[in-house]
Amino acid sequence: MDPSLRRYAVFYFFYYAALGAYTPYIGRWVDALGHGGFVVGGMLGLWYGTRIVAPPAWAALTGRSARPGEWFFAGCVATLLCFAGFLFTHQAWALLAVMAAFGLFYNAVMPQFEAMTLTALGPRPELYGRLRVWGSIGFLFVAGSYGALMDRVGDAWFPWLVLPLFAGMVAAAWPHRGDRPPEAAPGVADAGHLFKRPGVRRFLLVALLMQVGFGPFYVFYTLHLQAAGHSGAAIGALWAIGVLIEIAMFWQAPRLITRFGAGPLLMACLGVTVLRWALVAAFAESFTLMALAQATHALSFATFHACCMRLISDYFPGRRAAAGQSLLYGFSSGVGGVLGAGLAALAWESAGGGPLAFALGALVTALAWGVYALRRPVPAA
């Protein structure tokens, strides 16, 4: 790896290591506090809801700064301080309040960092996957081990186990304080004009629907597997399988995109994801089939994400990179995440429970496949 790019890999590692504890196990912690599915869904709904507000607001602040790296570091420090609030909260209203503050900062910094990374790569965007893979390694290390660790020390220790990971994220952000804004691309129109380009709105809708389909996975996958009789160690192993496959695919994604194109690969990812959620809905008791379903994470997440990064860099080049990343995060992860968490919570609390939640995830992803199948390919400008 180019030594000048190592600091980007280090930040990805710690950011996603913290996410590797947060995403799989915060629902387990909230459930252990005695709260039901609506509180768990509300927590994750707020998490995604802040993606609607935080990235564009943060982009507006950093876009006016000559030293956006200092804003980036400040956002990471605020993330650490807000997460520390979970050490002292147990009531539902307090948990939701801390989540809102925490999500506002945690969700603000990654779109900025993605834009900083693409700027650093310059004419080599195909190397993005080689940096982003270190985030997957961090996620793997934590998600694969914290299930068994919480079995041993108890669910109540969850905030204390995660806090050091956010401290590591702050340390990894320190070298980026002096990062400069990207240079303007010649002839680039404003972001509003680019939003109207053929294909942009359809792409964003597909990304939103894909995120809605992922709602049951991010909110209730761990609890769904627990209800099916799997231990914390087995659940951690299943999370690890998905991320191991994801890591391998991130290394291959640039080659696949070059060979097949981002659009056709995106469509294949959607089709595989429909099958994945159908398996999780119907066969949660089978560790073997769950391991097979997790193996499809290579396409459902890794390749899909790499394709999105390639397409968004084409649609929003130069100084519009941060605006494009914020739009993608806010529209897909934000709106899509809120809708996905809400849909999952309603299904979880109904008689259908986890199987219904994941069946709905498969249905929404099938709709995304249909929407993208009807697109008219246009040449990138």
Domain boundaries, the chain: 3-178+192-373
Helical (H) or strand (E) element with 186: none
Spatial distance between the Cα atoms of 348 and 38, rounded to a whole number of angstroms: 9
State the pLDDT confidence band at 24, using cuts at 50, 70 and 90: confident
Q: How far is CA 106 from the centre of its chain?
A: 11
State the pLDDT confidence band at 52, using cuts at 50, 70 and 90: confident
User: Tokens in use for 74?
Assistant: 């400040």
Spatial distance between the Cα atoms of 232 and 180, rounded to a whole number of angstroms: 44
Q: What is the DSSP letter of 299?
A: I
Helical (H) or strand (E) element with 46: helix 37-63
Can you tell me which residue has the tokens 């004419």? 123
* pLDDT value at residue 252: 79
The torsion angles phi and psi of 217, rounded to 5 degrees, stand at -65, -50
Phi-psi region of 166 (alpha: psi -120 to 50; beta: other; left: phi over 0): alpha
Cβ neighbours, 10 Å, residue 197: 16
The 8 Å CB, 24+ separation contacts for 150-158 are 150/25, 150/28, 150/232, 151/231, 151/232, 151/233, 155/28, 155/29, 155/32, 156/29, 156/32, 158/21, 158/25, 158/26, 158/28, 158/29, 158/86
Whole-prediction pTM: 0.76
Can you tell me which residue has the tokens 């790499």? 306
Domain 3-178+192-373 grouped into CATH 1.20.1250.20: yes
User: Tokens in use for 183?
Assistant: 């240079």
Which pLDDT tens digit goes with each residue over 297-308?
A: 988 888 898 888
Q: Is 347 helix (H, G, I), strand (E, B) or coil?
A: helix
pLDDT at 169 > cutoff 80: yes
Nearest-CA neighbor of 375 among 212, 206, 208? Answer: 206
Work out the mean pLDDT of the chain and round it to a whole number.
85
Helix and strand totals (H; E) in the chain: 16, 0
Helical (H) or strand (E) element with 171: helix 158-173
User: Tokens in use for 345?
Assistant: 């919570």
> What DSSP string runs through 115-130?
HHHHHHHTT-GGGHHH
Pick from 5-19, 36-50, 171-185: least confident: 171-185
Q: How far is CA 59 from the centre of its chain?
A: 18
